[in-house]
Structure 1
Amino acid sequence: MIQPLAYIHPQARIADNVTIEPFVTIHKDVEIGEGTWVGSNATIMDGARIGKNCRIFPGAVVSAPPQDLKYRGEQSTVTIGDNTTIRECVTLNRGTALDKNTTTIGSNCLLMAYVHVAHDCVIGDNVIIANSVQLAGHINIYDYAFIGGTSAVHQFVEIGAHSMISGGSLVRKDVPPYTKAGREPLSYIGINSVGLRRRGYSAATINEIQEIYRIIFLKKYNVTKAMDIIEAEFAPTVERDEIINFVSNSQRGIMKGFGNT
């Protein structure tokens, strides 16, 4: 159902069963998958690739040019997976040729009102980003992460899978998987045990993750020493290896343990 008061460029590629409300603007180089709903006054600009059964609320701007002085008008995209909800006044900037050439939001995500996602960010599946979170460019957020409202995330930061960041946080360092982060400066405050239980992780696995992070954050070892101890004392598992790889490959450095400034 497409309302006559909407503007849709004749070359935009709109699938069947898409609902487009009045006063929507859809530019030329746009693809929208089946079953997606686009609310009034949303703007879908060139380079948008929107999946199936998404919900885009009024005032959202999808695939605007990046706010990057190095951008020279090159063709680039924003890709949104299936079943993702983009709430009111969210702004999603497309990628740049100097990095990924695309900004990616996964499937089954919820981006609440006034979220900003800058150029070349990659957001995984089942991610929740609460109201007014501001993401700078080149950020990676892995599956099932949660970012609390009004948080600001520095460019090039990595936020691990199943992690949880408290509202109002200033995220300047990488946040490893399965952790909870809070306080100022941003610090380790435990593992996301409630989220892990909800997603079917066993008590034994949760306990192992907790023991690994005690070594990283609470024992006051440097990162290299902590990684050596973990590799020596814990048998390889998916979770252990994910933590080791994330921490060892961190470019910005990981957040601190509380009290370890």
Structure 2
Amino acid sequence: MKIHATAIVDPKAKIGEGMEIGPFSIIGPDVTIGDNTIVQSHVVIEGDVTIGRGNFIGHGAIIGVPPQDVSFSPERKTKIEIGDDNIIREYCTIHRGSPDRSATTIGDKNFLMSGAHIGHNCLIGNNIVIANNCLLGGYVRVDDGAFLGGGSTFHQFMHIGRLVMVQGSSAFGKNLPPFVIAAERNCVFGLNVVGMRRAGLSANDRDEIKQAFNLVYLSGL
């Protein structure tokens, strides 16, 4: 374990084996971090936060601060749960839940690029890429394998389906069905065929998805 002399780690924090904590980082008393996680410099992790094994947290990331919700009361007990093998790059912000006993949840093997914001009560699945400066409002759900292009914004309570690919600098306030390519403002342009192949979907499954897409978007119903 390597903890820089300028880092502030509360004695009550639960820190795993093989961890590295960089200069001027602050780890609060209710934080649990698993083995072999790297926390770079100027990171703040506070509140009730559980982080799994093998994660990388970049310079200046802020995890566990109260939600940006005008109805939030400080006495509420809310938390963040983060799985294993995630990359959380510099200056990402992840806010804990807003309603009492609620959580913001991030799964495994996700890549949050620099400046991404994960609002309160978001539910992030596995193997997702959230590119630079994406903004997810409260209660956004992102299913496995999605790719959210840089600078995109997502309104609260949205659901982004499995293997969705979003073009950068887009904005959405409506749900995105699984497997689609989406861009601009609430527009769907086609299917993420390459993503489906890479994910191992069979030719028969891909054909059925294409038929469903054509029925919903191209049949004029």
Report the TM-score, using the length of structure 1 for normalisation: 0.82
For the aligned residues, what is the CA RMSD? 1.0
Given the alignment of the two structures, is residue 27 of structure 1 paired with residue 28 of structure 2, yes or no?
yes
Q: Measure, in 1, the Cα distance between the counterparts of 2:69 and 2:90.
A: 23
Q: Measure, in 1, the Cα distance between the counterparts of 2:151 and 2:215.
A: 31
Report deviation, 1:101.
Answer: 0.9
Matches within 5 A, 1:99-114: 101-114=102-115
Report deviation, 1:204.
Answer: 2.1
Match of 1:127 in 2: 128
Pick the aligned partner of 1:75 from 51, 54, 77: 77
Match of 1:165 in 2: 166
Letter in 2 for 1:66: P
Identify, as 1 or 2, the structure richer in strand: 2
The alignment of Structure 1 onto Structure 2 pairs a total of residues equal to 219
Given the alignment of the two structures, is residue 198 of structure 1 paired with residue 218 of structure 2, yes or no?
no
SS at match of 2:3: coil
Letter in 2 for 1:93: H
SS at match of 1:31: strand
Report deviation, 1:214.
Answer: 0.4
When Rg is computed on C-alpha atoms for both structures, the one with the higher figure is: 1
Letter in 2 for 1:33: G
Residues 43-101 of structure 1, C-alpha deviation per residue, up to 9 Å, x if partnerless? 11111111100000000001111010111011111111100010010000000226x71
Q: Measure, in 1, the Cα distance between the counterparts of 2:103 and 2:22.
A: 27
Given the alignment of the two structures, is residue 213 of structure 1 paired with residue 213 of structure 2, yes or no?
yes
Q: Measure, in 1, the Cα distance between the counterparts of 2:8 and 2:220.
A: 59
5+ long unaligned stretches in structure 2? none
Letter in 2 for 1:144: G
Q: Measure, in 1, the Cα distance between the counterparts of 2:16 and 2:183.
A: 42
Q: Measure, in 2, the Cα distance between the counterparts of 1:117 and 1:199.
A: 25
Match of 1:92 in 2: 94
Report deviation, 1:173.
Answer: 0.4
Report deviation, 1:119.
Answer: 0.5
Moved over 4 A (4+): none
5+ long unaligned stretches in structure 1? 222-261
Report the TM-score, using the length of structure 2 for normalisation: 0.96
Q: Measure, in 2, the Cα distance between the counterparts of 1:200 and 1:156.
A: 29
Match of 1:250 in 2: none
Letter in 1 for 2:155: H
Report deviation, 1:22.
Answer: 1.4
Q: Measure, in 2, the Cα distance between the counterparts of 1:190 and 1:26.
A: 44
Match of 1:54 in 2: 55
Letter in 2 for 1:145: A
Report deviation, 1:136.
Answer: 0.6
